Chains A and B, each alone.
Chain A
């Protein structure tokens, strides 16, 4: 039960003046149930990478195995894969089109060939999981606020009951409150359903709080891969490629340099506070 990428290369518009290698020899394995963060600068290939996971973009070379099966093999059911690996695009609210919220969320399950009742049941379940208030079910999705629209769009993917949920910058353009709400919801989902969650972001702070593993992309290559602690130890290298470790990492390293006896590996404010208290007592 995992996704494995083997030596994935992807070239945009090969043979034209716009040719560009977006992914270079990426190898990756994501076991079922992991909460993974993919971080990278704009243009580092992170969005391209995740579009490979459900077969929307076909690698120029390399293999992708989902649960041990090669997805590029003749006769592989791509639509099945897409219902297993739910991909929420950046600004997913831009894909809404139906007359009301419920029918929009039903679009995914309907494409899976389920009956009307079953679709609605799943849609309601997904909306509930996403913390969407029931009184708006019959409203036009275009009349909702930005944050609510995004919940509807995410529910639209959840309604297919995917085993893997991939979110591309789910907090882009939201205010701090909306951001925390969405991320908390995703974390709850991960805990309650045990699904694999892959969170793409350029904000280290966002990701560090939630994920168990961070993959850092740079210029189409996998640069670092490990737990947040391991990755943030390389904060100097991260800076060189235009990324930054969470602010607490800097505070902790500064404190250590100035003679405090503590481990600078804390990744969240809570951890850092505990560590400072420990070293003081």
Chain B
């Protein structure tokens, strides 16, 4: 049910990608996403495919997981493809029936759009699959650190994010437990019309809220008991530090981006209309 959504989930494994500094993964993912959208040459996409495939292979995350992550965007994907296919005009007309016309440009845009969206999701889920939530917020905090100068409370926001992320599995587990406890008392969540079903949620939601508030209260107490007072002067147990492999990753990504740009600009490589 809720557990089936793989996008945004962490997949624990020992791989080169997992070991990279989270900052590298965030920056490189952004670069990859930019590289997808600023160009539209066939060769560029071939290079992107090779790059993405290589990273997936290195990350040891099963391909099945990444494909599962694409499921939630299927509808969006279909919508985009259909819209682009029929609404983009220009170039030679390929098919024409009734009020629909598919043109060369339309076909090209829709195929490229589909590829972009799929790679976008696959690329960013590789980042979340290989980086623990805490690693991500750590990296984010460090990357956004300069914003402190303009009075953005970066540390506080990062702390809130990591607490929120930390609580997701806890609350899921809690929901599961409360659901089971109410089912043991004969509660039925599956039958009935929409109003009955909404009503059936009350025995879950009330205890869940009570427990969320209790946990928040306990956590605040525990943090204060350990003298937590925000970001200023706070040190880290495991400070983020770039190592050789992180620099290598940056170099490879930059080379990749350069290659994609060069392919779009200087190489004339065409297959049919693409």
List the interface of chain A (C-beta within 8 A of B).
13, 17, 51, 54, 56, 79, 82-83, 86-89, 92, 94-97, 107-108, 111-112, 142, 156-157, 160
Contact = CB atoms under 8 A, between A and B. Distances in A.
Interface in B190-205: 202-203
Contacts of B12: 17
Contact of A94 (B13, B183, B187, B207): B207
Interface stretch (B110-118, B174-182, B222-230, B236-244): B174-182
A142 B210 contact: yes
Contacts of A108: 185-186
Contacts of B202: 97
Nearest to A88: B184
A96 B207 contact: yes
Interface of B: 3, 11-13, 177-178, 180-188, 202-203, 206-207, 210-211
A162 B181 CA distance: 15
Given A97-B206, A142-B210, A87 B186 contact: no
A82 B186 contact: yes
Contacts of A157: 184-185
Contacts, number: 61
B203 A97 contact: yes
Given A17-B12, A142-B210, A95 B186 contact: no
A107 B177 CA distance: 17
Nearest to A157: B185
Contacts of B203: 95, 97, 107
A156 B185 contact: yes
Contacts of A82: 183-186
Contacts of A86: 184
B207 A51 contact: no
Given A89-B177, A95-B181, A111 B186 contact: yes
Contacts of A96: 207
Nearest to A54: B184
7 contacts: A56-B183, A89-B180, A89-B184, A94-B207, A107-B186, A112-B186, A160-B186
Contact of B187 (A17, A88, A111, A142): A111
B188 A87 contact: no
Nearest to B10: A17
Given A51-B180, A107-B185, A160-B186, 10 more contacts: A82-B183, A87-B181, A89-B184, A94-B178, A94-B211, A95-B185, A97-B203, A97-B206, A107-B182, A112-B186
